[in-house]
Amino acid sequence: MALKPEEGETFLREVDEELRRDQMNRFVKKYGWLIGGAFLLVMAAVAAWIWWQNHHREEIAKQGETLTSALDSLEAGNRNAAAPKLAELQNGSVPGYRVAALFAQANSQVAAGSIPAAVATLRGIAGNEEFDEAYRQAALVRQTQLEFDGLPPQQVVQRMRPLAGPGSAWLGSAGEMLGIAYLKMHRPELAGPVFAAIARDHNVPDSIRSRAASMAGSLGINAVDEPAAPAAGAPAQPAGPAQPAPAATRDNGQ
């Protein structure tokens, strides 16, 4: 008996669906274990990631408490109690707390009079590329401050010149050492602009700006902001003569 057209189409669809079902069953039988294994691996990876995130947060909180406790011990003058806590942080997994512990250790060494040990600690920070550049620069500035009296001026210039540019966060500290190093090298024409730049930067602490303005003035550079214009009809006040720098200051940067 011949099939009607619509019955033929229905039959073909049923055959096609049955064929697809059979192909899917054979695929699952052949590769189902791989699919199940991959699914389990994905679920395990997600679970491991969630566990690691929680563990990392807990570790950060724990190390933060350890750092606070160590700093409290140092503030109380108890370096012996702080030492094992700082050592624990230095071997930790969080770079921020590691570098903070190293800076705290350097400060403790300075307070104890162990300047060579503090210099070694700071040198380690400055040379460790795992730490952020800002920490490394801070360590180099502090290291140079501790070594300044015994360093050749040229070495101070090599270290501090890259950190003493306009707008630098280290312009005050690095720039002051750079200017004095230039004076020790008998290069006042290089020192004057450095001191003037420090004095004119309002982001530099006032104490350093004041010293820099005095040094710039002694070298013949007016680094003080221009005074406001006098009121109409008021007599103009003549500027006082520039004071020459003492010989010792020009030669030794003291």
Computed over every residue of the chain, the mean pLDDT equals: 77
In a domain, 170, yes or no: no
In a domain, 139, yes or no: no
pLDDT in tens, 234-246: 344 444 344 444 4
**How far apart are the C-alpha atoms of 35 and 69, rounded to whole Å?**
51
Q: Which residue has the tokens 């274990």?
A: 33
Please tell me the predicted confidence (pLDDT) of residue 230.
Answer: 38
**How far apart are the C-alpha atoms of 112 and 118, rounded to whole Å?**
10
pLDDT in tens, 30-83: 666 566 665 556 666 666 655 455 555 666 666 677 777 777 777 777 777 778
pTM, to two decimals: 0.63
> What is the gyration radius of the CA atoms in the chain, in angstroms?
35
- Residues with Cβ < 8 Å from 230, sequence gap 6 or more? 236, 237
In a domain, 214, yes or no: no
Contact 177, 151 (CB under 8 A): no
Q: Spell out, as residue ranges, where the chain has pLDDT lower than 70.
A: 1-19, 21-25, 27-63, 225-254
Where in the sequence is the domain holding 101, given as residue range(s)? 13-112
In a domain, 18, yes or no: yes
In a domain, 98, yes or no: yes
- Cite the beta strand spans of 69-221 per DSSP E: none
- Longest Cα pair distance anywhere in the chain, in angstroms? 126
Number of structural domains the chain divides into: 1
In a domain, 5, yes or no: no
Please tell me the predicted confidence (pLDDT) of residue 252.
Answer: 41
In a domain, 147, yes or no: no
**How far apart are the C-alpha atoms of 248 and 254, rounded to whole Å?**
7
In a domain, 247, yes or no: no
